[in-house]
Structure 1
Amino acid sequence: MKEIGEFKPKQNLDSSKTIKAFENAKNDVKGPEHINTINQDKEGTVYNGVLYEKRVIRVNGRKIEGVFPQFESKFDAYLPKKMWHSSDTEQFKYCVNNLRNAIDGNPDLAKEFTPRQLEQIRNGEPRISGKTWHHNEVPGKM
């Protein structure tokens, strides 16, 4: 038999970190918070060629559930958090700049667009004929 020493807890335990870890684990166990969306009545249907599905996403550590359109995207852009509340025009300009850079780095991407659309992209126009920037349910994703 081996003698063991007496257990002495560490004096500098950071209880706030322990509590935070527990709260995060607890949030993973409970179900998502449901949010009402303008398209919730379209769940499971295709409307104007777009499928509407219930999805669960994580926003600031919280699980959120809602019905969202599932668009086929030609290009995804991600806004920095500081731009989440900017005007649509400012957000679209940022996205078009990202798209222009992506086309410069991958000329095959240009095949997805008409000559007129490519001109608008090169000029940095926030709105591209026949296309739209969709605010995705994932914060910052366009």
Structure 2
Amino acid sequence: MGFTLAVKGQDTEINLGVDVIKSANIGVNTPNNSMAKSSTVAATLFVTGKLTHNNMLPSDKETSKLLKWSLVTAQNADAYRDVTVQVVTTGQPFRTMHFPNAFIIDYNERYSDSKGMGEFTLVLRQKADKFSDVQAE
């Protein structure tokens, strides 16, 4: 099983493949005190991936774009981007999760000197007023 991540912004695209993305999961949450289906719903994507130490690899430039996106301020329209995560098994898409108005909640990078590599964690959420645009296939 593998995962891909595609992000489309105003002037940039980020594409990370199965060689980089280690895990992906989606969470759809409502408040715990809801006594009926709540209109306060959040859809969140969690993605982890590998960071490498070789600046010659295309994936290194792509992961640096994630860090730069995380620094975009809320006032900038480019804070919201079109994100698609695919779960791939036996070379075929198993599940596709599409967040057309996603923003970064958290972005973290951790480095390890023992392997010469690191890992990133990306937490994305769909814009609240665009929740109904989330697609899962």
TM-score strictly above 0.5: no
Scaled by the length of structure 2, what TM-score is found? 0.24
Tell me the TM-score normalised to structure 1 length: 0.23
**Bigger Rg, which one:** 1
Question: Which is helix-richer, 1 or 2?
Answer: 1
Q: Greater strand percent: which structure?
A: 2
